[in-house]
Amino acid sequence: GYKWVVISPRCFQYKGFWLPEIYIKGSMMIDDHFKPRPSDIIVASNPKCGTTWLKALTFAIVNRNSYFDFQNHPLLTSNPHDFVPFLELFILQEAGSIESLPSPRLLSAHLAFSSFPTSMRCRFVYICRDPKDALVSMWYYVNKLRPEHLPPLSLEVTFDLFSKGLSLFGPFWDHVLGYWKASLESPNKVLFLKYEDMKREPSVYVRKLAEFLDLPFSAEEEDEGIVDKIVKLCSFENLSNLDVNKNNVKEKKRGFPAPLRNSDFFRKGLVGDWFNHLTPEMVKVLDQITEEKFRGTGLNFN
């Protein structure tokens, strides 16, 4: 019942997580065919936790020597997803196209950390978010993905499923914990970021991200205010107001399992919008799960 009626697109449990079928195919291809390079950078996330933002920031940081004109930057005319393809989807495209990308390859993934072969030696930058905001964002999103012949999904049902672990790439908490533990074990390989921290102090985290990628800002770059330029370029206010990202044409580009509009990646871009949607009872349940799942791990969303 639940597993395909409710989460759209249809999801199946694979290696402990609920994945749309096409991502399962991609995951298998990674196991068998992906040749990781130590220089690879993977932007990883649970959907709706700030993937689009982190893709933009990572792309701007890594390519700042090629694209130093911030008035004329490629992110002003293309959606961030065009520069950082999902590894699980990209690998299903023409054989060898990933191999022919120059290093450092900038890729992304929604797969759980444990789903990757242990031989993956790349660097991961992971973004997570308060599950309450992630749920609200996901609720809007799954209704956008939902085929027209199905009735909209209520927040109550989405909440019920989410709290039982049934969400795109869920269980949400297990996904977060996988990357959290990996970041503690291998801090040079996995950078763990929180949406809320980044909203509060974006420039601090842009510097952290650059340092993690072995591309720290030089004194000259600091003098030129490059960090602030990157923060502004990639801000919700800037990106969501660009013509390219206001595009409402539904396209099945980028290999996503359902047609999407560029505008679907931008909604409010705020911390705490859950307050306007969730009942006190829902909040209590989610906070309790978070507290139980994260107890003793050093991780919280307070």
Residues of this chain that interact with ligand A3P (CB under 6 A) are: 45, 47-53, 56, 133, 137, 140, 234-236, 239, 265-269, 273
In the complex, least distance from residue 181 CB atom to ligand A3P, rounded to whole angstroms = 21
Q: Which two tokens stand for residue 156?
A: 């109550």
Q: Annotated catalytic residue: which of 73, 81, 110, 175?
A: 110
User: Considering beta carbons, is residue 256 or 294 the nearer one to ligand A3P?
Assistant: 256
User: Considering beta carbons, is residue 63 or 235 the nearer one to ligand A3P?
Assistant: 235
User: Considering beta carbons, is residue 162 or 266 the nearer one to ligand A3P?
Assistant: 266
Distances (CA, A) of 211 to 140, 168, 191: 34, 31, 10
In the complex, least distance from residue 81 CB atom to ligand A3P, rounded to whole angstroms = 8
In the complex, least distance from residue 110 CB atom to ligand A3P, rounded to whole angstroms = 9
Per-residue exposure over 177-207, b if at least 16 CB sit within 10 Å of its own CB, e if not: bbbbbbbeeeeeebbbbbbbebbeebeebbb
In the complex, least distance from residue 49 CB atom to ligand A3P, rounded to whole angstroms = 5
Catalytic residue status for 33 = no
User: Considering beta carbons, is residue 70 or 236 the nearer one to ligand A3P?
Assistant: 236
User: Considering beta carbons, is residue 36 or 273 the nearer one to ligand A3P?
Assistant: 273
In a 10 Å sphere around its CB, with 0-12 CB exposed, 13-18 middle and 19+ buried, how is residue 96 labelled?
Answer: exposed
User: Considering beta carbons, is residue 64 or 81 the nearer one to ligand A3P?
Assistant: 81
The catalytic residue positions are 110
